[in-house]
Each structure stands twice: as C-alpha cells, then as structure tokens.
Structure 1
Amino acid sequence: MSIQSIVAIMDKLCSLHESLYTLSKEKTDMLKEGDTQSLQTLLIKERKHIQAISQLDREREKQVTNWFQSKGIPANEPTITTMLENIQSQEEKQQLEDVFERLLDVLAGLKQQEQLNQELTQQSLQFVELSLDMLQPSMKNMNYGKPNTNQADQGQKRSVFDSKA
C-alpha cells in the first residue's frame, strides 16, 4: 500500500469537509432568517455529505490498516499519527502531515460553526416555546364559577326570601 493512496483519500476527505463547512455557514444564515424551506433542502445535502464522508473514512481506515500490515508494523491503533512516526521517506511524511493538518483545521472550523448553529437552534426553540406559552391560556383561569367569588363568601350570603321550616 502506498502513502499516495492514503493522501488522496485524505485530500478527498478535506474537500468534503470544506464543502460541509460551507453548508454549515449557509445553515447559520438560514437559521438567522428563519427560512425553514431552504433549511430542509440544506439538511438533505448535509446528510449526503456526511454519508460520503463516512464511506471515505472507512476506506481510509482500511488503507491505513493495509499499510501497517504491508510494512509488517504491529499496530494496536492504526492511526495517521502512528503512521507518521513510521514513515521513512521525508517527502511522503511531509505530504501526509500537510493533508492531516489541513483536515484538522477544517474539522476545528466545522466544529465551531456547528456549535454556533446549535446555539441558534436552541434560541429559536426557546422563542417558539415562549410564544406558545404566551398564546395558550393559563389553566388557573379556566373554571366554571362566578368571577371574583370565594368559597367562604358563598355561605354567608342569604337569599331575599328567608324562610324557616
């Protein structure tokens, strides 16, 4: 297994994550505007990106495991970091390290953007709940008795016709 195939897969992962980051920024704008129709469409695109990323990541894991096996290096955790420690060629090591750092940068930005989106979604949800609470009548006011009467007052009132039997 060559390092070049792993670098190519990681480069594709970077591209997909960058595209997902762009979608995440668009989602922020849609959340601010309250455009639910466009948001639905965007979420479908986002889901497709995530599926493609998952598939590529499985392929990357398989390639890295194969690389460790082909080099005869026992690895409990076949990771890119462990791989960087075992690469002999400086050029290949530099290529892999560059694409790895690029991926980490994109992931950090994506994580930050998604946290912002989550906060905006929470605020929108709180606003909707507050609006619903204001529109729904309070259960304390829902009764069938006369307004402004107390139970103690009702016993002391006498009728106009007071009769004793």
Structure 2
Amino acid sequence: MDPIKLIIQTLEAMVGAHSQLLDLAKEKRSVLVEGDINQLQNIIYRESSCTEEIQKLEEQRKALVKVYLEGKGIPEKDSTIEELLKVQENVEHRTVLSGLAKQLRSLIREISQLNESNQQLIQSSLSYTQFMIGMHVRKEPSIGYGPKSKNRYTNLLDAKI
C-alpha cells in the first residue's frame, strides 16, 4: 500500500482515539461533579487504555513518516506532519493531511482545556474535604507554658453552646 495512505489512515485513527479521549474527559467532568468514585475509576481506566492506543499510533505515525521521507531522499529532521506537508506534491494528499492535522490540534487543545478544568474541580473538592476534616478533628495543642496553653484546642464537636 502507498505509504502516504498508511500515514493518512494512522492519522484518522489518531483523530478517532483523541475524539474518544475528549468524550471521556467530558464524561469525567460530570462524574466529578456527582462525586461517583466507582464511575470515576472506570473512566480513568478507559482513559489509560485510550492514551496507550494514542501512544502506539504516534509511534507508528513517526515510523511511517520517517520511511516516507527517506524514500523521497530527504534526511530525517523531524517526523512531523509539517515536514511531510513540505515535501508532499500531491495536492489532494496535502489537503487531507492538513485537515487531519488541524483536527488533531483542535482536539488536543480541547482535551487540554477540559483536563485543566477537571483538575481545578478536583483541587476544589480536595480543599473542601480538607477544610471539613479540619473542622472535625482536634488541632495540635500549641506548645507553651502557663494556665492558658492547655485550653488551645479547637474542635467543632466539643464546642459548648
């Protein structure tokens, strides 16, 4: 099969895998809001297998681009799509490759934004949890001498009303 068609098929598979990862990130956001730990673990497992697939596809893409560029007599600088586009003479292939590259960039940007948002959501949840635990757990006594140093515990459950 034509090497450029193999590259295009690999890029299409990468777009599909990134779309799946984006869907999982969106699903994770709603699960984080709901606080469903079991569902979150399931999503994380699926994300892990999806990222493994993306890594394999990326290695395959690099190898195919390297072979293609070497076949054209071009020494390998980078195995990037941009390098491939520079030497691509077929307008149709160049258009398809360019479109796939744009799709991948867009998907990666959106995944990154969602992951940052999810990370902030997790951080807020952790801060709230730590605050609530701090409200119900005794604080360490302050070190010092004198009659007032013994009574420096703060505990919501022991408060007198």
Q: Is the 8 A contact 1:3 1:96 kept in 2?
A: no
Partner of 1:35: 36
Q: C-alpha distance in 1, partners of 2:79/2:34? A: 44
Give runs of aligned pairs for residues 10-159 of structure 1, distance below 5 A: 10-140=11-141, 149=147
For 1:51-102, what per-residue CA distance to the aligned partner results, in whole angstroms no more than 9, with x for missing partners?
1111111101100111111111113212110110111111111111111111
Partner of 1:158: none
Q: Is the 8 A contact 1:24 1:113 kept in 2?
A: yes
TM-score computed with the length of structure 1 as normaliser: 0.83
* Aligned pairs, number: 148
For 1:17-75, what per-residue CA distance to the aligned partner results, in whole angstroms no more than 9, with x for missing partners?
00110000010001111111110111111111011111111101100111111111113
Change over 3 Å in CA distance of 1:150–1:54 after alignment to 2 = closer
Q: C-alpha distance in 1, partners of 2:66/2:101? A: 17
Partner of 2:154: none
Amino acid aligned to 1:84: L
Q: Is the 8 A contact 1:28 1:117 kept in 2?
A: yes
Gaps of 5+ in 2: 150-161
CA shift for structure 1 position 128: 1.2
CA shift for structure 1 position 129: 1.1
Identity of paired residues, percent? 25
Q: Larger Rg: 1 or 2?
A: 1
Q: C-alpha distance in 2, partners of 1:150/1:95? A: 77
Structure 1 moving runs of 4+ over 3 Å: 148-151
Gaps of 5+ in 1: 143-147, 152-165
TM-score computed with the length of structure 2 as normaliser: 0.85
